[in-house]
Structure 1
Amino acid sequence: MRQRIQMNALRYLLKKETHASTITSEVSNYDTYWIYFTPKEQSSEGEEGETQESADPVKMLVEPEADKPLRARRVRKLNEGRQKPKAITTAMIKAVEFEIRHFYGETETTYTSPVVAALSRFLRIHWLLWFWHRFSKANASRKTKFLRERKTVLEVIVRLDDERQSGINSLSVAREIRGPDLFLLPSEVKARYFRHIHRIIDSLAFTQEIEYDKNRKTYTPTGKSMASLLEWEKELRIHRSQVRRERMIVCLTLVIALGTTVQAYQAIFGSAL
């Protein structure tokens, strides 16, 4: 009975997926199950029907064919050809360890039971895991704060250098960023802000976007500065796009949840009337 339930769960998963034989970071709309199982006790036939322990575990991969009987083939080794698939029977999966990898969007979840994987699919838990992953990325704006600050400081140094200004330091950069309001800040806040700008300038010098000219006693941008600005702008643009998409998903989720609640209310109390 247990093996039949597991086989039905496998069929359910294969019907729900859109299979992909490879996974790359350039694609973000995966819905793929890679299903493996390995017998807990490995054995192979010897002479005259004897059974001997197998040196290597026989890892099987379930074929992604939802419209055909369940089949599995042995995962091929290095420099080995594709193995012929075999029909999956209840005896074959009587004592096995499952490894079910679900690639959904940008998330990957591993299950050790086809029944648990099927329940997760039926209850849309896989979608919640994906949503939580995306929500966490949308809330990562704090992680880009320092990147934005580095970009702003470097842009100011490049602009001041283009204007042939000398003595570019933390004070002149801070004055360009905050404007006249800088000197209206309380002394403690102003000193803390100067220290923060100075640390950013030190970090830019450490990563060689700028260098200190001892003769002119000023910071000047290097050839790496423009490449870094382009790269940072690309990263920030991708992040902004992700945040906008996550906000749209949150709004759509709230609309769907509200509509489901209204339908459930009408179904329950409407029938009672």
Structure 2
Amino acid sequence: MEEFMKILHKKYITYALSQPCPTLIPRSGERGAKVNCYTVAIDKDDKPHYLVNALVDDKMICMEWNGNSYANERKIKLSTVNPKDFRISHYYGLSEITYFGINDYVLGRILFIEYIKIHIYRALTTTDQYIFNKKKLVTKQRVELLRFLIAQALEGKKEFDVIELMTELYTIKWVMHPDKDSQLQKVKLYLNSLVDTGELRMINGTYALTGHAIRGIEEYEEQERKHVESVKIQRRMFWLTLVIALLTLVQAGLIKLPALLDVTGP
């Protein structure tokens, strides 16, 4: 059994080393999505010790950690290393799976559970993005945007970058939306209009609220209150006028009302 495990360990380490990672691993965009490579390292007491570059027979060609980087080449026997000291990382597209120990790595490659999770997550993310892209990015009105900025400021945010603001408004999914550029420009226009009227000020490409922001909201809410009250008064006047008109017609005898109670009779 022990001999069989050694053969299995050697086979899987050889497979990982056959797909080495470049010095700089792309972790975003199309290049990052195409990544499929491994790093095989040996740690001692949870600290980096060796980076394995190749396996020839039973000898591993490694680079030794000098405190800052893997620098000095060393050759060590596979059989002399504790299988638990291996740390094998698989960069699989934009995902990363790290195995601690050869047995963990072998089991992970056989069962494929982590990869199934990754593919399910990717499928759900793709579907979610597709549904999101079908929706129209609704632009907040000027006052709604100002309210949103004030709410963010109350949570401790002092300055607003337009990209971060777009992410707060629509989540990170907006960057993949077909209308992202036009929506970004709309939000910029609203922000610049708030700068022109004094509610915001520009600081090195970012936006910050001024004292006029609260006053602007209060003035708008007062105007809204007056407008709502005006609409209510107009409705009351309409119904009052209608009732007066009906009573006038009744008094003139143009409209006959049926008797509600007949008190005549035996």
What's the TM-score bracket when you normalise by the shorter of the two chains? 0.3 to 0.5
TM-score by length of 2: 0.45
Q: Pick the structure with more strand per residue.
A: 2
Which fold has the larger relative contact order, with Cα–Cα distance below 8 Å and residues 6 or more apart in sequence? 1
Answer with 1 or 2: which has the greater Rg: 2
